[in-house]
């Protein structure tokens, strides 16, 4: 444990007042004897998101003012002789906070904002994916601070949506390296590149089908891609009006290129004469490009949405010299979202269409008065945890102007979040359990709320020293590095052309041995620990390796569980390199449903007795005998009877145990048939708060 470095700074944190100087009236400038303006203590500050720090300012001529070079990363305020720096979101690029005195002298502080240990490393299970037009692929999000959001910079190729900790990438049309940006609530950013490629046709024996919408209208001089299925490939296509619509087929991809306005009938045929016919309309709009509003007034740091209509999509937001007052972005292709940045205006924000037409909206940004306070303003808690469960306490926000942002002076001790008008202050939690906020003496932690006008209010949570810190405040702490790996489904060869088994490595840290290793798909990949080195192998042996052939990019989760039940995972994605060799995974296995969400808490019968959680799924296809695997059998096990798959929580029906987790946790149940084909059901266990005693 580290001793307190500056009780003075912590005590000063209790005196935070509204930003902007906190002066009443207009006091005369104070000349401090000709001493040079400076910021005491540090010229370089490193903070975690939501952390707030104060530095003493001296010299120069008061009053002082402060400005941040990037307010999306950190805010800065000067009040009397104190400089307050509040970290907003992580950014690897340092920013500058500049203090200016009444005579224009300046002093600079470099500020870097990084993730705190409790937030973990914000990452995606895969940074590159391939998907077919009309299909989707899921990518898991780890670390960071939820809720997450996503946007695609190439939405005509692929789009991205978020559900909990899962990013779903949908293929729209063929293309390479479509950028999908993922943001956490601190605006830390990750980038995923999506490639959309035409699917390969297959003779399924089903009727000829497509994913063409029933009433399809396309724009002139454009192109769209859809997917064909069933029938007997290869496919062919013709149009009765090639001036309006020119179709072509590549594999199972139906590509439609449009010409002049009109309509035409497209007919797809397979090799045995089955046909699929649809009438498609191609038209433009005669309405001019317009915005739903021509003048907008809003308060600083708020947003306003304005609808776009007419013209010829796609639309584009034009940048101009007034972007310091407001800027804009496209939402869903036909909505202009205006971000009110700084007080001023009116300024013009313009939108153009694909034919060069443009329209503008006049934007004015106003300031908002605020009367912000917190209740209570002083709280004392113990450094000890009850039953090793995380502690949380609410603080109400009174007045002010939403949205609010919350900061802590000690992110390693207390982590605050905003839920509406309530600040929830929690003791730290990692993936392996709760952490006691252990201190060497009574320690005040300042929880500071800043509203959209820049007004501030603080509450002090004092962590009481209860003596020597307990041993084992956390049962164990484990991590695996790296957390995500991608390998080819194909085997490498030695200099003689002999196939070699693929072996990749990861390193385990922490936990209490002995350990167990589980694979969500052991017919594809297995893991073995050698000390703290985790070796991951493709199928077969070194002497007789087997290619882990997949029909699409396939994530395999390797889970290490220690003797105390703590666990950590690494995701290895097998990258699909094309059709599998003959005889490999030639059968088809399906499970229904494919995804289920359950509570970590057990239900009870009419007498209040806990009941074991049981999920039933149906198996179809494949060749028996089958094998069933769980990626984390300490949380969920599975058994297969004929075509009925039962997934069970721990214990027995007479003595059930709750599958308690510290965060929403997916468990992968995989069924593998005799020929190596497989299907997986994902069971997500929802965290419902502190685990029951």
Calculate what percentage of the chain has a pLDDT beyond 90: 10
Average pLDDT, the chain: 79
Which helix (H) or strand (E) covers residue 510, if one does? strand 503-510
Is 2.40.160.20 the CATH classification of the domain at 587-693?
A: no
Q: How is domain 475-583 classified at the architecture level of CATH?
A: Sandwich (2.60)
Among the residue ranges 14-18, 139-143, 167-171, 476-480, the one predicted with the least confidence is 14-18
* DSSP string computed for 298-336: EETT-EEEEEEESS-SPPEEEP-GGGGTEEEEEETTTEE
Pairing type for strands 275-282 and 217-218 reads parallel
Pairing type for strands 484-488 and 567-575 reads parallel
| Pair of tokens at residue 646 | 């039962």
Domains in the chain: boundaries: 7-113, 129-196, 209-282, 290-366, 378-464, 475-583, 587-693
Report CA-CA distances (Å) from 474 to 24, 429, 467: 49, 9, 17
| Pair of tokens at residue 485 | 């790996």
Is 3.40.640.10 the CATH classification of the domain at 7-113?
A: no
Q: DSSP secondary-structure letter at 155? A: T
665, β-bridge pairs: 685
**pLDDT for 263 beyond 50:** yes
Residue 678 burial by Cβ neighbours in a 10 Å radius (0-12, 13-18, 19+): buried
The pLDDT assigned to 168 comes to: 93
Q: How is domain 290-366 classified at the architecture level of CATH?
A: Sandwich (2.60)
pLDDT tens for residues 678-690? 788 889 998 887 7
112, β-bridge pairs: 46
| 458 contacts 373 by C-beta, under 8 angstroms | no
- Of 42, 137, 58, residue with least CA distance to 551: 137
| 463 contacts 503 by C-beta, under 8 angstroms | no
Query: What is the rounded average pLDDT of the residues 44-53?
Result: 84
Rounded Cα distance, 44 and 97, in Å: 10
CB-side neighbour CA atoms (13 Å) of 63 = 15
| Pair of tokens at residue 216 | 């399809």
Burial letters 83-110, b for 16+ CB under 10 A, else e: bbbbbbbbbeeebebebbbeeeeebebe
Among the residue ranges 14-28, 77-91, 297-311, 425-439, the one predicted with the least confidence is 14-28
Helix (H, G, I), strand (E, B) or coil at 10: helix
Query: What is the rounded average pLDDT of the residues 501-517?
Result: 83
| Pair of tokens at residue 561 | 């569980």
Is 2.60.40.10 the CATH classification of the domain at 378-464?
A: yes
Pairing type for strands 378-382 and 106-113 reads unpaired
Same-fold call for 129-196 versus 378-464 = yes
Name, of 287-291, 334-338, 433-437, 538-542, the range with top average pLDDT: 334-338
Confidence of residue 517 (pLDDT cuts 50, 70, 90): confident
209-282 CATH: 2.60.40.1080
| Pair of tokens at residue 510 | 């922490």
The distance between the two most distant Cα atoms of the chain, rounded to a whole number of Å, is 97
Q: How is domain 129-196 classified at the architecture level of CATH?
A: Sandwich (2.60)
Taken in order 615, 620, 624, 627, the sign of the CA dihedral is: negative
Rounded Cα distance, 684 and 134, in Å: 25
Which helix (H) or strand (E) covers residue 8, if one does? helix 7-12
Rounded Cα distance, 551 and 135, in Å: 14
- Of 439, 431, 392, residue with least CA distance to 413: 439
**pLDDT for 531 beyond 90:** no
Confidence of residue 215 (pLDDT cuts 50, 70, 90): low
Confidence of residue 201 (pLDDT cuts 50, 70, 90): low
| 442 contacts 436 by C-beta, under 8 angstroms | no
């Amino acid at each position: 444990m580290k001793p307190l470095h500056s009780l003075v700074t912590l005590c000063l944190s209790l005196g935070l007042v509204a930003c902007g100087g906190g002066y009443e009236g207009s006091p005369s400038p104070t000349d401090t004897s000709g001493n040079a303006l400076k910021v005491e203590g540090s010229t370089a500050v490193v903070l975690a998101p939501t952390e707030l720090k104060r530095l003493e300012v001296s010299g120069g001529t008061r009053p002082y003012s402060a400005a941040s070079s990037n307010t999306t990363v950190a805010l800065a305020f000067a009040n009397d002789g104190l400089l307050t720096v509040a970290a907003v979101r992580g950014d690897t690029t340092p920013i500058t906070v500049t203090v200016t005195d009444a005579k224009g002298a300046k002093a600079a502080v470099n500020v870097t904002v990084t993730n705190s240990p409790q937030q973990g490393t914000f990452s995606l299970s895969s940074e590159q994916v391939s998907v077919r037009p009309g299909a989707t692929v899921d990518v898991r999000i780890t670390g960071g601070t939820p809720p997450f959001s996503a946007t695609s910079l190439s939405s005509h190729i692929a789009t991205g949506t978020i559900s909990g900790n899962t990013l779903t990438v949908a293929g729209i049309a063929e293309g390479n390296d479509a950028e999908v940006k993922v943001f956490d609530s601190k605006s830390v950013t990750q980038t995923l590149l999506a490639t959309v490629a035409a699917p390969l046709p297959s003779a399924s024996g089903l009727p000829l089908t497509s994913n063409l919408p029933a009433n399809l209208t396309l724009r002139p001089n454009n192109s769209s891609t859809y997917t064909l299925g069933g029938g007997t490939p290869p496919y062919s296509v013709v149009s009765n009006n090639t001036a309006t619509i020119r179709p072509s087929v590549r594999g199972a991809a139906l590509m439609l290129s449009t010409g002049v306005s009109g309509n035409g009938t497209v007919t797809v045929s397979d090799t045995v004469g089955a046909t699929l016919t649809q009438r498609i309309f191609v038209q433009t709009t005669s309405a001019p490009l317009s915005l739903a509003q021509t003048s907008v007034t809003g308060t600083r740091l708020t947003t306003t949405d304005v609808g776009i209509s007419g013209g010829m999509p796609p639309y584009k937001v034009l940048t101009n010299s007034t972007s310091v007052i407001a800027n804009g972005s496209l939402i869903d292709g036909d909505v202009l979202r205006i971000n009110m940045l700084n007080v001023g205006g009116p300024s013009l924000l313009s939108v153009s269409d694909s034919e060069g037409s443009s329209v503008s909206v006049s934007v004015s940004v106003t300031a908002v008065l605020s009367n912000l306070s917190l209740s209570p303003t002083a709280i004392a808690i113990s450094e000890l945890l009850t039953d090793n469960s995380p502690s949380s306490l609410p603080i109400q926000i009174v007045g002010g102007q939403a949205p609010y942002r919350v900061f802590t002076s000690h992110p390693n001790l207390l982590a605050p979040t905003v839920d509406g008008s309530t600040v929830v202050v929690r003791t730290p939690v990692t993936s392996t359990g709760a952490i006691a906020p252990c201190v060497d003496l009574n320690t005040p932690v300042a929880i500071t709320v800043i509203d959209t006008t820049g007004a501030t209010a603080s509450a002090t949570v004092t962590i009481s020293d209860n003596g020597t810190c307990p041993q084992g405040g956390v049962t164990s702490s484990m991590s695996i590095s790296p957390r995500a790996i991608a390998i080819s489904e194909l085997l490498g060869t030695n200099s003689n052309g002999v196939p070699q088994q693929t072996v990749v490595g990861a390193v385990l840290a922490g936990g209490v041995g002995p350990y167990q290793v589980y694979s969500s798909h052991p017919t594809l990949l297995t893991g073995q620990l050698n000390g703290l080195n985790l070796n991951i192998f493709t199928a077969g042996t070194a002497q007789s390796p087997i290619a882990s052939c997949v029909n699409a990019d396939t994530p395999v989760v390797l889970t290490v569980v220690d003797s105390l039940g703590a666990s950590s995972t690494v995701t290895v994605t097998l990258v699909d390199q094309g059709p599998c060799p003959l005889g490999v995974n030639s059968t088809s296995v399906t499970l229904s449903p494919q995804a289920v969400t359950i509570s970590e808490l057990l239900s009870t019968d009419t007498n209040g007795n806990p009941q074991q959680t049981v999920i039933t799924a149906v198996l179809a296809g494949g060749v028996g005998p089958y094998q069933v695997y769980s990626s984390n059998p300490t949380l969920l096990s599975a058994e297969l009877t004929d075509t009925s798959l039962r997934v069970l929580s721990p214990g027995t029906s007479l003595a059930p145990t709750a599958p308690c987790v510290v965060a929403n946790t997916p468990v992968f149940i995989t069924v593998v048939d005799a020929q190596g084909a497989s299907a997986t059901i994902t069971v997500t266990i929802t965290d419902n708060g502190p685990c029951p005693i």
